[in-house]
Structure 1
Amino acid sequence: MLLLAGIIGFMGPFGTYMRDGLPGRIGHWWLLLMGAYILVRPAIWLLRRLARRIDLSVSITVFSGVSLCVVPLAFLWRNVGRTAFRDLDGFTGLLPFSFLCALTVLVVTHWAEQTDRRLAQRGILPPPIDAPPAEDAAATSSGDPALRHRLSAGFAGPILALQSEDHYVRVHGAGGSELLLMRLRDAIAEMEGVAGAQVHRSWWIAHRAILRCDPAGRSWLITLDGGLSVPVARDSVARLQRAGFLPAS
């Protein structure tokens, strides 16, 4: 954000070029951009948690929510940055600029997170502390998940995958599978603490169960220990590549 403030301060848009020297302009724009960051960054975190909890598309939910942040951001700048935005036409003129800044925060946040993940995969950085457990390839389980206690005593080995079948969930293990009368969403919630991800509308897999990943047209096919083949939804490919479940294309 400081780099962006330096670029904008050097350019001096909206009549700010003649208002102050370069250090003053950079400081002023940094305060305004940090105001956008302080408002939008927590919103991104909350929107991601909301999307995962109610099973919505994370990218669509975050973009829609960040777009709504434009309104309070424009109100904030109208009162705080009146001199900086004197060439804009009040609140209406601030809305497009607020949207651009909110989108910039979203892009910068996404870029920084992807950079952190790449460095973590190379061992340069530890895994991100705010990575969701369901998508953290480095997460480990300290005990049996809650779902394990719903299964019979004869269920062999750890849970490898969950498959939705109408109103049931088929729980796949190393030595077979069992059906449970519950929703896939609820079954995934009871796998908390186990590194895994929902790769398809009907499938959740444990990261440790992946044997290999093979391209299948514009998507992928994941083979698990024991030979079980799991399709990957096309719109989930990018998310799974970022999480380390699929190799980068």
Structure 2
Amino acid sequence: MRERLAQLSLRLGPPLGLGLVLGLIGPFGTYDLLPAAARLAYWLAVVSMNWLLADAVLRRVEALAGDRLPAPRLTVPVAGACLAAVPATGVVALANGLSGIGWPGNIAVLFGQVLLLLTAIALPVYNLESMEAQNAARPDPATPEGVSSPHPSSGEKAPQPGVDGLSLFQARLPGPLGGRILCLEMQDHYLVVHHSGGSEMILCRMEDAARELDGLGRRVHRSWWVAADAVIGVEREGQRTLLRLTDDRRVPVGRSFRPDLKAAGWL
């Protein structure tokens, strides 16, 4: 329960904080159009709903086209903001009508305002999360070189994570692990644990899971972690780099993760 509350606070804390700030300063004429209480309620509702909407769209854009777009730290959040601005404009129009501000007379102007706000939010948030993911993917400097190599020599056993870390991760699962861990896939604030016996979803941050399973594998993408002994090949599709796993799954490799993976001998 404590973990669920922590995840919920991490998810809702930033939009609620931003909504509170916008409610106090009243941009786009809302300071004069709405009394203080109504203005706070308006901005808290609009920012929270559109933040969650934009977050879902942005993650989808990153998963589908993050490795194909040039300058992804710029183009991914901008593309996500542009796509999310369409339904978000509808949310704002509905909020305006219900709050008494009035239904928008010029949808194009409203769309531009919503797009500007979403872009201003998406750019720093996406880049901050990307840097955190990249830092989390870097191996511990104290870890011996080659400990997470996906292709250990024939005379060596595959590296295993610390017993405490693995136990902590297994405790997150609803039951005993049904097979050998292959990879983890981030879906919103959940993780899908893919193993040789199937897949199951748990509520967990990728950063926490990667830390607990340190030594067994690596982050290869903002949304993917892969076990070292699950990798059987590397494939390329145009500009995309993919890891082929023992279950014939193809996992994308993020651009920002490639240097560390090359240095570790994965690519």
Query: Normalization by structure 2: what TM-score?
Result: 0.48
**1:193-225 deviation line (CA, Å, top 9, x unaligned):** 99965579xxx6662735xxxxxxxxxxxxx79
- What fraction of aligned residue pairs are identical, expressed as a percent? 14
Unpaired runs of 5+ residues, structure 1, are: 148-161, 163-168, 170-181, 211-223, 231-249
Look up the match of 2:65. 51
Report the Cα distance in structure 1 between the residues aligned to 2:260 and 2:134, rounded to whole angstroms. 21
**1:50-77 deviation line (CA, Å, top 9, x unaligned):** 1147x33334244224213222221232
- Opposite residue 242 of structure 2, the aligned amino acid is I
Q: Which runs of 4+ in 1 moved over 4 A?
A: 18-21, 114-123, 182-187, 191-200
Report the Cα distance in structure 2 between the residues aligned to 1:197 and 1:133, rounded to whole angstroms. 9
Change (3 A) 1:29 1:84: farther
Q: Following superposition of structure 1 onto structure 2, how do residues 40-79 of structure 1 map, counting pairs within 5 Å?
A: 40-52=54-66, 55-57=68-70, 58=72, 59-79=74-94
* Matched positions, count: 174
Look up the match of 1:99. 115
Report the Cα distance in structure 1 between the residues aligned to 2:240 and 2:103, rounded to whole angstroms. 53
Corresponding position: 1:146 with 2:200: no
Aligned-pair CA distance for 1:115: 6.9
Corresponding position: 1:4 with 2:18: yes
Report the Cα distance in structure 2 between the residues aligned to 1:184 and 1:118, rounded to whole angstroms. 23
Higher relative contact order (CA 8 A, sep 6+): 2
Look up the match of 1:189. 243
- Opposite residue 145 of structure 1, the aligned amino acid is V
Report the Cα distance in structure 1 between the residues aligned to 2:49 and 2:111, rounded to whole angstroms. 15
Report the Cα distance in structure 1 between the residues aligned to 2:256 and 2:135, rounded to whole angstroms. 24
Conservation of the 8 A alpha-carbon contact between 2:61 and 2:76: yes
State the SS of the aligned residue for 1:134. strand
Aligned-pair CA distance for 1:47: 0.3
Conservation of the 8 A alpha-carbon contact between 1:47 and 1:61: yes
Match of 1:134 among 190, 215, 220: 220
Conservation of the 8 A alpha-carbon contact between 1:40 and 1:69: yes
Look up the match of 1:151. none
Conservation of the 8 A alpha-carbon contact between 1:41 and 1:105: no
Corresponding position: 1:109 with 2:125: yes
- Opposite residue 3 of structure 1, the aligned amino acid is G
- Root mean square deviation, CA, Å: 4.5
Report the Cα distance in structure 2 between the residues aligned to 1:6 and 1:187, rounded to whole angstroms. 42
**1:19-59 deviation line (CA, Å, top 9, x unaligned):** 55434322220101112112211000000111147x33334
